[in-house]
Structure 1
């Protein structure tokens, strides 16, 4: 199994336990997170997608279940700004060091404010992108929040 992404290196450096899951990434999937959940046989609510956003004019990351949509008004309120918007894919790639479809909330080039949907806390473990297409990391949502300094808030 492939390792060595910035996300897995960050977890190993922190001596954080995690499990890797590989699957056949479909670049033509309409919803990447849903395709990953299906390929891994996981409930979509347990497989989280990493969305790069802009809160005000600053970058941030929003993490929510693959079957949910971020409510940008709720995100803006949580960030105490007037508005939030999705980040352009090219900007997200440049900022994180990852490719779209492989953006992990862990091990990004630049640490940015993070917001984790409160619904994720209902699960013993969740899956987040492992830093490349076709790789997921299984980890406790509480540990994920602690590692990235995420604000846990209702985002859906």
Structure 2
């Protein structure tokens, strides 16, 4: 059955194909298959609730692999802290994690904002070859800006 979600996902698949964005295409095909085989009532709520944590876990595993393989060890860490770029990277990592934390809060408290954030992420992924971590960071930035606007 062709429904609005199937049409929307199909359009996103076409955009992913035109933009040659493999992540978007795989994500859309996965969701279409789940929807079309009738498992969406069970799988979608689970993924919506746990998907961000699962994704963050997978990203964290990928980031930690060089430590697990021995490519990065104490020597590389001690050399890195001597670099000003490493300190900038450290501060950036802390800032992004704190911003994303605010984003999780905003998405939990204001779920309607998710539509705009998801659309912005889709645009960035499809048109600019972005990476789909945007909703959390975007929500965090939105949260911070909203709080600043409330002060005035």
TM-score where L is the length of structure 1:
0.31
Looking at CA atoms only, which structure, 1 or 2, has the larger radius of gyration? 2
Greater share of helix? 2
